[in-house]
Structure 1
Amino acid sequence: MKSFARLRLSDWIFAVLMLTLAVVCVFLGSWQMERLAEKDALVAAVDSRITAAPIPVPPPESWGSLNTEDLVYQPVELTGAYRYTQTTTVFTSLSDPKGQYSGPGYWVMTPFELQGGGTVFVNRGFVPQQYQETAALGDLHGEDPGTVTISGVLRTPETPGFMTPEADMSNRIEWVRDPERLAKMTDPALAPIAPFYVDLPAGATGELPQAGETVVSFSNNHFGYALTWYGFAIVAVVMLGFWLARQARQPVSGP
């Protein structure tokens, strides 16, 4: 019978690789726990800010360096004028509405030109799909109010995925609420465009667009991911121990 001291070089190389794998799994588990702490802090910050009084919208001179994550779901106040004829629509399917309308439809994203310069896209709310053309033509607002002060919730851009289609420029249809993409369908004179958009609060019952559909939610699976990585680390070490013990018990082969 051979002892652990007589294990072959290849055995020790395999053992080192398995231990390295376990260390990597522990590192990834710890990283997920750090992300969990960050997400918990973000949720706590959002819970405190979403009910706060509106603050002035960040000015255009700050947009280039603005970290929108620090202001997500922050109520903001804007003074300026809607540019209804520059409205774009973003396809969605509203499955759990707060208002009376739901199903396939569109977010109505209208540029709001700030009094001091610069433009912020305002999500005026949801319309069923049969109102898309009317919304895109800017005909869902009644009389133009001119310069107004509005308030809403600041939102970060939606990130297009690998399979996200290009915009339907002729029908003014987009697939994500991303100001950078939406800006391609607006008058260049409205530049600069804010790197965020604003959701309006709910209006009168039955009013279109149907605002107030903001959903505050965060994907938070970090604890489960951490347990998975730690579990892999434990399994790797236990299996390595059994394997080394088996190898040590094998008789020496050869002459």
Structure 2
Amino acid sequence: MSSASPEKIDRRHSAAGLTIFCGLMALLIGALLALGGWQIERLSWKRELIARVDQRVHAEPSPAPARAEWSGVNRSNDEYRHVTARGTLQNDRETLVYTSTALGPGYWVITPLALADGTSILINRGFVPTGMRDPVTRPEGQIAGPVSITGLLRLTEPKGTLIKSNDPANDRWYSRDTAAIAHQRGIAEVAPYFIDADGTPNPGGTPTGGLTQIAFPNNHLVYAITWFVLAAMAIGLLFFVVRGEILARRA
């Protein structure tokens, strides 16, 4: 009974190993190309988003969504809309949210705006430095009577930031969480969004509005190039290995 020679067995093992290697490399190359293609799709989406937001920001202001529209307010269609609302500022219920801006560390002044229909919208009236945290240091800015607020619609920022969580019990706030702030201040029927007031000067000069930062990281092209380069390197490695195996067999 004949048996295969060691040389034939080695060739079979080599062929099996090469087949497995090629299969794994094909899967890797396919995955890298898919990731690169996905980043290209994300790039297109991000560019459309930036253009859409830019159009909203510079559009003529429209009325802020009323109570009947609250359930339909979403990030895709509404964030950074240029809106206006009229009501009365409830200065005795303002909330200070810690922030750091180009003007230095300080606070956003968040004040409920009571509307005629009994609902409220939280208004980010703008920035005050740490030394003006107490409202008595800025009495002119505590506007009484009906006012019109124009600015950008922003969605609620629940719980806090990645670094610090809100502490309602001790009145320490690091994000503009509309529901939590409204609950803490005893405000019923508050909108699920807030309005960043524009740069219209307030009496006395504070708070300072119009400081909304609109920035969307757009590194998708870099990521796509990275995935495609890795795919090209994997293809090169596969070609080098297969070519070396072919030359070895011919030899």
User: Do Structure 1 and Structure 2 share a fold, with TM-score over 0.5?
Assistant: yes
Which one has the largest radius of gyration?
2
Q: How far did residue 18 of structure 1 move?
A: 1.9
The answer for the alignment partner of 1:238 in structure 2 is 236
Asked if the contact 1:88–1:185 (Cα under 8 Å) also holds between the matched residues in 2, the reply is no
Paired residues, number: 240
For residues 124-170 of structure 1, the C-alpha deviation after alignment (integer angstroms, 9 at most, x for no partner) is 000001222438x996633522x333221112344644433232533
Counterpart position of 1:144:
144
Structure 1 segments of 4+ aligned residues over 6 angstroms from their partners: none
Q: Do the aligned partners of 1:88 and 1:173 also contact (CA within 8 Å) in 2?
A: no
Say which SS state the counterpart of residue 213 (structure 1) adopts.
coil
* Deviations 1:98-125, CA, capped at 9 Å, x for gaps: xxxx111011111222222432211100
Aligned to 1:98: none
Partner of 2:197: 200
Task: Check conservation: 1:91, 1:174, Cα contact below 8 A.
Answer: yes
Q: CA deviation at 1:214?
A: 1.8
Quick check: 152-161 or 80-89, which moved more? 152-161
RMSD (CA atoms):
2.9
* CA distance in structure 1 between the aligned counterparts of 2:52 and 2:14, rounded to whole angstroms: 55
Match of 1:36 in 2: 43
Q: 1-side partners of 2:217 and 2:84: how far apart?
A: 28
Distance change (3 Å), C-alpha of 1:247 and 1:115: farther
Aligned equivalent of 1:65, options 67, 72, 77: 72
Map of 1:105 onto structure 2: 106
CA contact (8 A) 1:140 1:209 kept: no
Q: Structure 2 vs 1, CA of residues 104 and 26 (structure 1 numbering), >3 Å: closer, same or farther?
A: same
Structure 1 segments unaligned to the other structure (5+ residues):
96-101
| Runs of at least 5 residues in structure 2 that lack an aligned partner in the other structure | 1-6
8 Å CA contact retained: 1:86, 1:185: no
Residue aligned with 1:228, SS: helix
Quote the sequence identity (%).
32
Secondary structure of the residue that 2:85 maps to in structure 1? strand
Q: Which residue of 1 aligns with 2:179?
A: 180
- Matched residue type, 2:176: R
Equivalence for 1:228 = 226
Letter of the 1:220 partner, please give it: N
* Matched-pair contact (CA < 8 Å) for 1:124–1:209: yes
8 Å Cα contact 1:68/1:196 also seen in 2: no
The yes-or-no answer on 1:79 pairing with 2:86 is yes
TM-score, normalized by length of structure 1? 0.81
Q: Which residue of 1 aligns with 2:19?
A: 12
